[in-house]
Amino acid sequence: MAFKTRITEEFGIETPILMGGMTGVGYGELVAAVANAGALGFITAHMFESGAALKEEIAKTKELTDKPFGVNLTLLPSINPIPYDEYREAIIESGLKIVETAGRAPTDHLPAFKEAGVKVIHKCTSVRHSVSAVKKGVDMISIDGFECAGHPGEDDVGLIVLLPATVDALPDTPIIASGGMADGRSLVAALALGADAVNMGTRFCATQEAAIHPKVKQQIVDNTELDTVLVGRNLRNTARVARNKVSEEVFAIQRDPDTTFDDVKHLMAGARARTAVYGEGDLDAGIWSAGQSQALVHDIPTCKQLVDNIMAQAERVRSRVDALG
């Protein structure tokens, strides 16, 4: 029996499973594999130097799948200007109808997206920011619990509370559960708490099609829920990353509340991690994102195998709950 929700119906996808944008990972080949497996994936726009380059990646992805997919726009301050307007136009001109935004509210992009019939999912880490984003015009909310990889915000609220609280505050808005989601149990639990879909990041990193070094994938399998570190806490820019020599060094430095980003900048360079860690498999070469859901990752399947396994487990969980009467 299929799991039909407002999100599967809206986007025409087979399962209520999403793979959100991930820096260094969200390329077209993985996104197409996710789409062909019946889920919904997002190309990560800021990995491309221009709107034209993003448009080429979208076209390449369309050659690999005829199923829906989207693009992630992470709207953050940057030392080097990011061509957000070019990205937006590339998305619209390519005919895509789904965008995932993160960071600041996409207020300046919404008029163009709405005119083009593009639905906007905005990632938030709190109820108040979710309510604000919907008031500003986004169509759906992806709510990130404290368990998530990357930036969990500063409130430290786990998804089991944050998700239903968001659903209660926004009953007419489709909500996606993010943070700690990794299997069929996660999916059924999220649906029971009012979500219309789940977002899985770390879980999709440990798939055959993810373009990261096999050593990184195996480390995700080997890691437990204890193998992440929170960095950037003293700067109120918290990020959850995999535990390694570099992240532990950053954590130790930032125990001093007076340290600044300049004190750890050399350790946290994103390009360093993407080249040495994801590309060369040097697990201690830099900071790389991972969620507590590592504890639930036990293999490295294809995306198709992963989605099929999640849905099969979800059916078993649903049957078990039904049997309870």
In a domain, residue 130? The reply is: yes
| pLDDT digit string, tens, across residues 101-123 | 999 999 999 999 999 999 999 99
Structure tokens at 246: 């570099």
Question: To 5 degrees, how large is the angle CA 148–CA 154–CA 156?
Answer: 60
Structural domain containing residue 22: 6-211
Residue with tokens 């709405």: 114
Short-list 96, 100, 113, CA closest to 18: 100
In a domain, residue 320? The reply is: no
145, 177, 211 — which closes off a domain? 211
Compute CA distances 7 → 16, 39, 202, 250, whole Å. 7, 11, 21, 39
pLDDT of the residue at 325:
81
**pLDDT of 272 above 90:** no
Residue with tokens 């593009």: 118
pLDDT of the residue at 229:
97
Q: Tell me the average pLDDT across 299-313.
A: 98
Answer yes or no: do 166 and 284 share one domain: no
Inter-residue contact 289 to 150 (CB < 8 Å) = yes
Answer yes or no: do 50 and 165 share one domain: yes
DSSP category for residue 256: S
**pLDDT of 236 above 80:** yes
Structure tokens at 243: 């535990």
pLDDT of the residue at 76:
86
Inter-residue contact 164 to 194 (CB < 8 Å) = yes
**Mean pLDDT rounded to a whole number for the chain:** 95
Answer yes or no: do 14 and 137 share one domain: yes
Structure tokens at 36: 């062909």
Answer yes or no: do 150 and 70 share one domain: yes
In a domain, residue 309? The reply is: no
Torsion of CA 280, 285, 289, 292, to 10 degrees: 100
Answer yes or no: do 201 and 245 share one domain: no
pLDDT of the residue at 79:
67
| pLDDT digit string, tens, across residues 2-16 | 899 999 999 999 999
Answer yes or no: do 202 and 238 share one domain: no
Answer yes or no: do 24 and 116 share one domain: yes
Answer yes or no: do 138 and 276 share one domain: no
DSSP category for residue 251: H
Band (pLDDT 50/70/90 cuts) for residue 33 is very high
In a domain, residue 221? The reply is: no
Instruction: Report the alpha-carbon distance of residue 129 to residue 294 in Å, rounded.
Output: 27
**pLDDT of 251 above 80:** yes
**pLDDT of 170 above 80:** yes
Inter-residue contact 304 to 33 (CB < 8 Å) = yes
**pLDDT of 274 above 90:** no
In a domain, residue 1? The reply is: no
Q: Tell me the average pLDDT across 154-176.
A: 98
| pLDDT digit string, tens, across residues 44-94 | 999 999 999 999 999 999 999 999 999 999 998 776 789 999 999 999 999
pLDDT of the residue at 190:
98
182, 211, 240 — which closes off a domain? 211
Answer yes or no: do 206 and 233 share one domain: no
Which CATH number is 37's domain given? 3.20.20.70
DSSP category for residue 285: S
Structure tokens at 60: 């390449």
Could you please report the per-residue DSSP string of 106-160? -TTTHHHHHHTT-EEEEEESSHHHHHHHHHHT-SEEEEEPTTSSB---SS---HH
Domains in the chain, number: 2
Answer yes or no: do 137 and 278 share one domain: no
In a domain, residue 216? The reply is: no
In a domain, residue 194? The reply is: yes
Q: Is 72 helix (H, G, I), strand (E, B) or coil?
A: strand
Strand 119-124 and strand 140-144: pairing? parallel
**pLDDT of 1 above 70:** no
Structure tokens at 216: 């990184």
Q: Tell me the average pLDDT across 282-311.
A: 96
Answer yes or no: do 153 and 204 share one domain: yes
Answer yes or no: do 94 and 178 share one domain: yes
In a domain, residue 33? The reply is: yes
DSSP category for residue 266: T
Band (pLDDT 50/70/90 cuts) for residue 168 is very high
211, 243, 270 — which closes off a domain? 211
Compute CA distances 1 → 4, 14, 29, whole Å. 9, 11, 29
